[in-house]
Amino acid sequence: MNTKIVLGIVALVVLVVAVIGFVNIFGSPSTIGDVVKTTNTENVKEFVMESFYDENGIWFSLKDISVSKGDIVRIKVTNIKGHHDFVIDEYGIKKDTPLNEEVIIEFTADKAGEFIYYCSVPGHRQKGQWGTLRVIE
């Protein structure tokens, strides 16, 4: 009786493992597709900036970014002084930038136009912490 229950459980475990293995084999082609997509660096535009404050205001070290529509935009932001974040409303981006840590913001520039990137900490944008992202058609 007990042996039958144990055998039943073993059979169930073997079945579950087999099903998981089966799903993984069939799941792998789409995983490979994702990897190919993300390693295509052809149209990546990379920018590096710092966020900080000084006696004159609060800033991003880069005031302008220009890319072409369809580019993958990668912005590396390092906060070197104060508390800041990085926001682009039209692209739904809002990322915290902890002190002395490089934060990578990546998105596809699929909308043409001029957009403002800024820090949403109260008062920071007014004191200068913003810049312009130009996405050229």
Question: In the complex, which residues of this chain contact Cu ion (CB under 5 A)?
Answer: 84, 119, 121, 124, 129
What residues form DSSP beta bridges with 134?
Answer: 66, 114
- Which of 72, 88, 67 lies closest to 134, judged by CA? 67
Q: Whose Cβ is closer to Cu ion: residue 47's or residue 52's?
A: 52
State the minimum distance, in angstroms, from the CB of residue 68 to Cu ion. 28
Q: Whose Cβ is closer to Cu ion: residue 115's or residue 129's?
A: 129
DSSP-derived 3-state class of residue 112: coil
State the minimum distance, in angstroms, from the CB of residue 89 to Cu ion. 15
- Which of 39, 38, 42, 58 lies closest to 120, judged by CA? 58
Q: In this structure, which amino acid lies at residue 70?
A: G
Q: What's the chain's length in residues?
A: 137
In the block, tokens 């302008």 appear at 64
State the minimum distance, in angstroms, from the CB of residue 137 to Cu ion. 31
Chain position whose Cβ is nearest to Cu ion: 119
Q: Whose Cβ is closer to Cu ion: residue 88's or residue 109's?
A: 88
State the minimum distance, in angstroms, from the CB of residue 96 to Cu ion. 11
Q: Whose Cβ is closer to Cu ion: residue 67's or residue 131's?
A: 131
